[in-house]
Amino acid sequence: MTGIGNTSAPADADQCAPARVGDELPLLRERGQRQVFCGLAGIVWLHRKIQDAFFLVVGSRTCAHLLQSAAGVMIFAEPRFGTAILQDRDLAGMADCNDELDRVVAELLARRPDIGTLFLVGSCPSEVIKLDLDTAAERLSREHEGRVRILAYSGSGIETTFTQGEDTCLTALVPEMPASDDPALLVVGTLPDVVEDQFRRLFEQLGIGPVHFLPARQAGELPPVGAGTKLLAAQPFVGDTIAALGKRGAELIAAPYPFGIEGTRAWLGAAADAFGVSQGKVDDVCEAPIARAERGLSRYRQQLGGRRISFLPDSQLEIPLARFLARECGMELAEVGVPYLDRRMMGAELELLPRPERLSEGQDLEVQLDRLRADRPDLTVCGLGLANPLEAEGLTTKWSIELVFSPVHGFDQAADLAELFARPLNRRARLAF
Ligand code: SF4
The pLDDT tens digits of the residues spanning 135-158 come to 999 999 999 998 999 999 999 988
CB crowding 138-155: b at 16 or more within 10 Å, else e: ebbbeebeeebbbbbbbb
281, 307, 342 - which closes a domain: 281
- Name 384's Cβ contacts closer than 8 Å, sequence gap at least 6: 4, 37, 399, 401
Position 73 pLDDT exceeds 60: no
392 and 428 belong to one structural domain: yes
DSSP string, 15-50: -EEEEEETTTEEEEEEESB--EE-GGGHHHHHHHHS
Euclidean distance between CA atoms 40 and 43, whole angstroms: 6
User: How large is the average pLDDT for residues 166-180?
Assistant: 97
Percent of the chain with pLDDT over 70: 91
353 and 420 belong to one structural domain: yes
Position 369 pLDDT exceeds 90: yes
Predicted TM-score (pTM) of this structure: 0.92
For residue 133, report the distance from its CA to the centre of ligand 1, in Å: 16
Return left, alpha or beta for 411; rule: phi > 0 is left, psi -120 to 50 is alpha, else beta.
Answer: alpha
As a whole number, the mean pLDDT across the chain is: 90
From the CB of 122, is ligand 1 less than 6 Å away? no
Q: Is residue 87 part of a domain?
A: yes
291-327 residue pLDDT tens: 999 999 999 999 999 999 999 999 999 999 999 999 9
User: How large is the average pLDDT for residues 169-190?
Assistant: 98
Euclidean distance between CA atoms 425 and 90, whole angstroms: 48
Q: Is residue 27 part of a domain?
A: no
Position 123 pLDDT exceeds 60: yes
From the CB of 123, is ligand 1 less than 6 Å away? yes
User: How large is the average pLDDT for residues 221-247?
Assistant: 97
Position 76 pLDDT exceeds 90: no
Predicted local distance difference test score (pLDDT) of residue 310: 98
Predicted local distance difference test score (pLDDT) of residue 382: 95
Range of the domain at 344: 290-432
Euclidean distance between CA atoms 197 and 241, whole angstroms: 22
256 and 311 belong to one structural domain: no
- Name 79's Cβ contacts closer than 8 Å, sequence gap at least 6: 47, 71
Q: How many domains does the chain have?
A: 3
Predicted local distance difference test score (pLDDT) of residue 220: 82
DSSP string, 88-134: HHHHTT-S-HHHHHHHHHHHHHHH-TT-SEEEEEE-HHHHHTT--HH
Q: Which CATH number does the domain housing residue 145 bear?
A: 3.40.50.1980
Position 11 pLDDT exceeds 80: no
Predicted local distance difference test score (pLDDT) of residue 433: 63
210 and 124 belong to one structural domain: no
For atom 8 of ligand 1, the residue with the nearest CA is: 3
372-403 residue pLDDT tens: 999 999 999 999 889 999 999 999 999 998 89
Predicted local distance difference test score (pLDDT) of residue 15: 39
Q: Is residue 11 part of a domain?
A: no
Q: Is residue 164 part of a domain?
A: no
Predicted local distance difference test score (pLDDT) of residue 72: 64
CB crowding 16-51: b at 16 or more within 10 Å, else e: eeeeebeeeeebbbbbbbbbbbbbbbbbbbbbebbe
Q: Ligand 1 pocket: which of 4, 124, 129, 158 to mutate (most atoms <8 Å of CB)? A: 124
Q: Ligand 1 pocket: which of 123, 126, 159, 160 to mutate (most atoms <8 Å of CB)? A: 123
| Planar angle of CA 380, 341, 57, nearest 5 degrees | 80
Percent of the chain with pLDDT over 90: 76
- Given a contact cutoff of 8 angstroms between Cβ atoms, the answer to whether 121 and 47 are in contact is no
From the CB of 177, is ligand 1 less than 6 Å away? no
Burial class (CB in 10 A: 0-12, 13-18, 19+), 190: buried
281, 314, 341 - which closes a domain: 281
Position 340 pLDDT exceeds 50: yes
DSSP reduced 3-state for 55: strand
150 and 191 belong to one structural domain: no
Predicted local distance difference test score (pLDDT) of residue 429: 83
Position 90 pLDDT exceeds 80: no
229, 260, 281 - which closes a domain: 281
- Confidence tier at 7 by pLDDT (50, 70, 90): very low
415 and 299 belong to one structural domain: yes
Three-state SS for 274-324 is: HCCCCHHHHHHHHHHHHHHHHHHHHHHHHHHCCCEEEECCCCCCHHHHHHH
Helices (H), 341-383: 343-352, 365-375
Predicted local distance difference test score (pLDDT) of residue 85: 82
User: Alpha carbon 380 to chain centroid distance?
Assistant: 19
